[in-house]
Chain A
Amino acid sequence: MDLALNETQQMLKTSARDLLSRECPYSLVRDMEEDARGYSDELWRRMVDLGWLGLAIPEKYGGAEGDFLDLAALLEEMGRALVPGPFFSTVVLGGLTILDAAGDDMKRDLLPRIARGQLLMTLAITEKGGTYESQEIEVQARREGEEYVIEGTKLFVPDAHVADFIIVAARTASGSNPKEGITLLLVPGTADGVSVTPHRTLASDKQCEVVFHGVRVPYSAVVGEIDGGWPPMERALQRAAAAKCVEMVGGAEAVLEMTVEYLKQRVQFGRPVGTFQGVQHHCANMAIDVEGSRYAAYQAAWKVSEGLPAAREVSMAKAWVSDAYLRVCSLAHQCHGAIGFTQEHDLQLYTRRARVQEQAYGDARFHRRLLAQTLRA
């Protein structure tokens, strides 16, 4: 048993924290909420130069040959710093799905460009049903000659507005089992008939409605197997949920630290507010939630990283962290008093994102249902 990150991962974290504290200040996070693209070229360039984009990509595809756990360590720091932009979409949703499911030609084409920071990607799953289940995939891709023609609407697609490629889960055959007949298709973001409209969200992040109207892609755009897209999609969702959990742990820890610092400074009744037991117990509860979240999230990331069956651990982690992070934020607000809910305070940057992250790749209830199924099996 080894419950610590290895030396490389710790160094990666340290250098990431160092860089992000300088180059991703809260002022940038705020600016990017207002920015149409939602990320800064300068910071993106820095991340590319440090090899972050190719961290989890094998050397033969131009990456650094790191594993998922290395990426997780980095994502924790990015979650802590609230890094805006299409890193998660490009690497976790796009790159790792290509690496997992695509044929070698497609990998050779896309992965080196991702590693060099020249290609942005995302993954389109969710539709109007608003969940992450196979039965709600209704976007159609019908064969016409040597092409697929895609019709339908995807919702909540992160960073589709800037993506060079969108991996679309589309229905290519219908039958009684909703998990069958789904195909993953690689669609250029600029293809004719693709229209992207960013949602207006409470975190002012960039999730998009993507409408496909008569969009034509060649057979070579199939990622993996025709009609066999759901198993890799399930794995993609597991990776996404595990990665999101780790990102949330980074945020939760930042919120706890921010709160403790404030409570040491803020004086009422002639003494620091942090000396009051009621307030201390709020902090203790936050610490308990952060501690539990950390090991639940990393256990899931470790399982994914090792290529072990991870469904149970991922659901456990997302079920726990989704709720725990929100509890941490609520208590942080209680400890901060009125200043915490002002727009100028940084706490609310985390709180609004925690609410969005809660829902991403399945909320607590969703994952508890999946878990209940594994318990029954």
Chain B
Amino acid sequence: MDFRFSQAEEGFRQELLDFLRRELPSQWEGPVGSTEGNDWDLTLQMRGKLAQKGWLTMHWPKDYGGQQASPLLSLIFNEEMSYHRAPGRDIFGARMLGPTLMIYGSEEQKRKFLPPVAKGEVQWCQGYSEPEAGSDLASLSTRAEDMGDYFLVNGSKMWTSLAHRADWMMLLARTDPEAPKHRGISFLLVDMRSPGVEVRPIVNMAGSHEFNQVFFDNVQVPRENLVAEKDRGWYVAVTLLDFERSGIDNAASSRRLLDDLSEFLWEAQERGFHRASEGWVEDLLAERYVETEVARLIAYRVAWMQSQGLVPNKEASVSKVFGSETFQRVADTGLKILGLYGQLTWEDQWAPLHGRFQDAWRHGFSNTIAAGTSEIQRNIIASRGLGLPRG
């Protein structure tokens, strides 16, 4: 056993940290406030720079603009980007579309769609959930009618993150309504500027516009944008979900919150915030700290398995559940410790840490829902992981 990263890996971490110090605004502690609007420019700017470094898609094969980086380098990249709250990563294009097309896409599709992602020039979104199809994703009803050289799409997608910024969507739609529900679904790539696509914002309880509902009214999708065979899209989708689950972002974000909080408390103690020195505060902090470290180890384990060519099974779900729930506990603990001050938002001059804890707490509710609820993950752990019989 060896829990250390190699020298080359540590070297990369250092290079990344230097890059972040250089390229992020000075004294950067992360975006302040809940509206991402003002930060979008910075996101695009950073994305361009990450692309220049080749880091945006570092885990891709070289042929498509990647660096064939090991999963451990990707892990370090995501860990530090999350810890530093650095904008610019591209979850949908780089982490989901890319690996999926690598497996299922035609050569033409790869050549057309992958390079712009690697260059950071295009924003993708994921058209999976619907108003009536959440955890039971396979019951989706958005229809794609086969018209020969195009598909005619009608219906609606829900909770579509960044649809309002997106150029393209990975869409799951029903092409055979008569088939059993898993067998009549196809995976399509949709130009968001197509006539008949309409995006409506959904503002979350953190006051932030991240989700959208997307409507399709007779939208034409060329046949060449069908990924894999018609009616086989479910299997493409399931693969993609496996790429989506990762615990390191939650572990690193949680750790950052705790580090911020500890630092704040030591200073606040001197200014008269006396509860900072109470024993229960120390115990709670240490308890959360242990959890973030365990979350980190579990995420390392997933990446390490991938680096060995092993396919994580229950481990990815374990990492997702534990990481997301740890993040929620950290946010909750911060608010308990901050007491009355915890409620203050960034606009208030008394707000500790720019109101980050109340913001993290409000955002945290989505962490155990998005990308497969904790309940679905636990089902996967029990059935796929432990071999318990299905109900």
Contact = CB atoms under 8 A, between A and B. Distances in A.
Interface of A: 1-6, 69, 256, 260, 263-264, 271-272, 274-277, 280-281, 283-285, 287-288, 291-292, 295-296, 298-299, 302-303, 316, 319-320, 364-365, 368-369, 371-372, 375-376
A1 B300 contact: yes
B290 A316 contact: yes
A295 B382 contact: no
A287 B391 CA distance: 19
* Residue with the highest number of chain B CB atoms closer than 10 Å, among A1, A276, A295: A1
Contacts of A375: 262, 285-286, 289
Interface in B1-34: 1-6, 9
B300 A3 contact: yes
Contact of B3 (A3, A256, A365): A3
A77 B25 CA distance: 52
A76 B255 CA distance: 29
B378 A280 contact: yes
Given A1-B300, A292-B294, A302-B1, 13 more contacts: A4-B308, A260-B387, A264-B387, A274-B382, A280-B383, A281-B382, A287-B381, A287-B386, A295-B298, A299-B3, A369-B283, A375-B262, A375-B285
Contacts of B283: 365, 368-369, 372
B389 interface: yes
B301 A280 contact: no
A38 to B, nearest CB: 32
Contacts of A1: 2-6, 9, 72, 300, 304, 307
Interface string B235-269: 00000000000000000000000000010001000
B141 interface: no
B293 interface: yes
Given A287-B314, A288-B321, A295 B282 contact: no
17 contacts: A1-B2, A1-B6, A3-B305, A271-B391, A283-B382, A288-B318, A288-B321, A291-B301, A292-B295, A295-B297, A296-B293, A299-B297, A316-B293, A319-B286, A320-B290, A364-B287, A375-B262
A302 B383 contact: no
Nearest to A69: B1
Please list the 5 inter-chain residue pairs (A to B) with the smallest Cβ-Cβ separation, ordered nearest first: A280-B382, A368-B286, A284-B378, A284-B381, A295-B297
Contacts of B377: 284
A256 B318 CA distance: 15
* Residue with the highest number of chain B CB atoms closer than 10 Å, among A275, A277, A291, A375: A291
B385 interface: yes
* Residue with the highest number of chain A CB atoms closer than 10 Å, among B289, B291, B305, B383: B289
A368 B281 CA distance: 11
A183 to B, nearest CB: 32
* Residue with the highest number of chain B CB atoms closer than 10 Å, among A6, A274, A288, A316: A288
Contacts of A281: 375, 378-379, 382
A285 B297 contact: no
A376 B259 CA distance: 11
A145 B298 CA distance: 57
Nearest to B378: A284
A5 B2 CA distance: 9
B389 A284 contact: no
A317 to B, nearest CB: 9
Given A316-B290, A372-B282, A292 B391 contact: no
A338 to B, nearest CB: 21
Contact of A295 (B286, B290, B294): B294
Contacts of B147: none
A100 B282 CA distance: 33
Nearest to A286: B386
Contacts of A6: 1
A298 B287 contact: no
Interface of B: 1-6, 9, 72, 262, 266, 282-283, 285-287, 289-291, 293-295, 297-298, 300-301, 304-305, 307-308, 314-315, 318, 321-322, 375, 377-379, 381-383, 385-391
Contacts of A264: 387-389
A272 B389 contact: yes
A274 B389 CA distance: 6
Given A284-B382, A302-B1, A369 B293 contact: no
A260 B388 CA distance: 7
Contacts of A275: 388-391
Contacts of A295: 294, 297-298, 300-301
Contacts of A276: 391
A371 B289 contact: yes
Contacts of A256: 386
Contact of B315 (A291, A296, A316): A291
Contact of A292 (B1, B72, B297, B382): B297
A371 B1 contact: no
Contact of A291 (B287, B298, B389): B298
B3 to A, nearest CB: 5
Nearest to B279: A369
Contacts of B318: 287-288, 291
B28 to A, nearest CB: 23
A263 B388 contact: yes
A26 B383 CA distance: 29
A231 to B, nearest CB: 23
Contacts of B387: 260, 264
Contacts of B289: 316, 371, 375
A302 B297 CA distance: 13
A371 B290 contact: yes
A5 B3 CA distance: 11
Contact of A2 (B1, B290, B379, B382): B1
A296 B388 contact: no
Contact of B391 (A2, A277, A369): A277
Contacts of B5: 1
Contacts of B391: 271, 275-277
A130 B241 CA distance: 50
A296 B314 CA distance: 18
B223 to A, nearest CB: 40
A298 B72 CA distance: 19
A254 B192 CA distance: 52
A25 to B, nearest CB: 25
A5 B282 CA distance: 35
A319 B290 contact: yes
A69 B388 CA distance: 32
B375 to A, nearest CB: 7
B267 to A, nearest CB: 13
A107 B169 CA distance: 70
Contacts of A372: 282-283, 285-286
Nearest to A259: B386
